[in-house]
Amino acid sequence: MATQFADRSDAGQRLAAELKARALPDAVVLALPRGGVPVGYEVAAALDAPLEVLLVRKLGAPGYEEFGIGAVVDGANPQIVLNAEAIAALGVIPSYIEAERDRQLAEIERRRQLYNTPAVNVQGHTAIVVDDGVATGGTLLAALYAIKRASPRYMVLAVPVAPPDTLQKLAEHVDEVICLSSPEDFHAVGEYYADFEQTTDEEVISLLRKQRTRMLAERHEMA
């Protein structure tokens, strides 16, 4: 029987318990918006770690936006990861890819301004990448590529639920994977949550602000 989570906060608390036992040094929690942020918040709060959003956007195929032909990941130098096999199979032309890239970069910039978040710096830190679950893993794989290029000390992927084949693919790009449930008969992430309502921008902003305030207060106490 697959693990059933009450909501994203419940999933985050369970992940936090696993991560806290590992005593990972200099951790930075990187959550994929929007659904990964409530999960990442619980992890960051338990670890007394900074919480940032990892802004990554899928590059959708012509006429089928849900089918990814690649992804773009925010950073000092935004990283573009393309699925060459899908592009060739669909006959996607370079001008479409460039236009889709620019469209998604504009959305990343909109979210950066909305969330008031800087480009993430993980060099020398333990980077803990968190989402509310993984299905095919295409977009998340692009994010892992980009983070690896930023030279973290150690990389952890922490998700509540994902299918075994996807986990195996993603595990090749991190130092450690923590997944609470990996059912063979996986269909969709939302099936493993009692409450899987869409996370709003307002909730993301509130949780980021809450963790930043907590971190500032702790630094003040230590000073």
CATH number of the domain at 71, please: 3.30.1310
Q: How many angstroms separate the CA atoms of 158 and 215, rounded? A: 21
Q: How many angstroms separate the CA atoms of 184 and 213, rounded? A: 41
Tell me, yes or no, whether 1 lies in a domain.
no
Residues 143 and 73 in one domain: no
Residue 201: phi and psi, rounded to 5, are -60, -40
Range of the domain at 164: 8-55+119-222
Confidence of residue 195 (pLDDT cuts 50, 70, 90): very high
Which 8-state DSSP code applies to residue 160? E
Q: How many angstroms separate the CA atoms of 53 and 34, rounded? A: 9
Residues 29 and 138 in one domain: yes
Rounded (10°) CA dihedral 103, 107, 110, 111: -170
Convert the pLDDT of each residue in 32-84 to its tens digit: 989 999 999 999 999 999 999 988 888 999 998 878 898 888 766 777 888 88
**Sheet containing 126-130: which strands, arranged edge to edge?**
51-53, 27-31, 126-130, 154-161, 176-181
Residues 149 and 50 in one domain: yes
User: Does the global pTM surpass 0.85?
Assistant: yes
Cβ proximity of 74 and 54 under 8 Å: yes
Convert the pLDDT of each residue in 81-132 to its tens digit: 888 888 999 999 999 999 999 999 998 888 888 998 876 789 999 999 999 9
Residues 49 and 135 in one domain: yes
